[in-house]
Amino acid sequence: MSGDHGGATTALSARVRHVEALLEQRGLVDPVELDRALTAYLAKASPASGARVVARSWVDEDFRQRLLDNANLALPEVGLSMGGGLQEQRLKVVANTAAAHNVIVCTLCSCYPIALLGPSPSWYKSEGYRSRVVRDPRGVLHEFGYDVPADVEITVWDASAESRHMVLPRRPVGTDGLSEQELAGLVTRNGLIGVAAV
């Protein structure tokens, strides 16, 4: 499994919640305005954003390489970013190939690239998924109806408060004539998490 967690992440989250509560108590932050900002952020957060990124990478090899090298620098090219919080989260995009398959998880909580995948599905947050996908990724993927060939290596990427991951699925065979928009329509949130093929 790749990625890391530490006590610092949990401590940081607790400090952020504490500071937010203090700011609200002293009247420096309006909780209604905070809720409004969060609602506006979530309204823009959708798997369609991640699908656009994938489709661009399928039609533009240079963009694909920039995305894999440094996703945070590549995202503005398609009008996106990993911002929206107190700090911009680091995004690592991992590409599926004929020999390698990737799946993402957050074993301690449910860290997830909301800006690109929309709100996380309930199963992603479940303790069952978070613990089992690490121990038996093939078994979990099978339960999703996705059987990864035995000769394909599976890597499980563990997200954290500072770092998020997104899977870059393989482009489906027979899609050479499709437009970028049509390709984006093929990409699902489950494909971006790595529990389904596209």
Q: Determine which one of 106, 120, 126, 160 is catalytic.
A: 106
Residue of 111, 126, 160, 179 with catalytic role: 111
Of the listed 110, 120, 131, 179, which one is catalytic? 110
Out of 109, 126, 160, 179, which one is annotated catalytic?
109
Question: CA-CA distance, 167 to 81, in Å (whole number)?
Answer: 16
Beta strand 100-105 pairing with 90-95: unpaired
Active site residue 57: no
What is the secondary structure of 109-169 as a DSSP string?
S----HHHH-SPPHHHHSHHHHHHHHH-HHHHHHHTT----TTSEEEEEEP-SSEEEEEEP
Contact present, 115 and 81 (Cβ < 8 Å): yes
Note if 120 is an active site residue: no
Rounded Cα distance, 119 and 45, in Å: 7
Tell me if residue 160 is catalytic.
no
Residues carrying an active site annotation: 106, 109-111
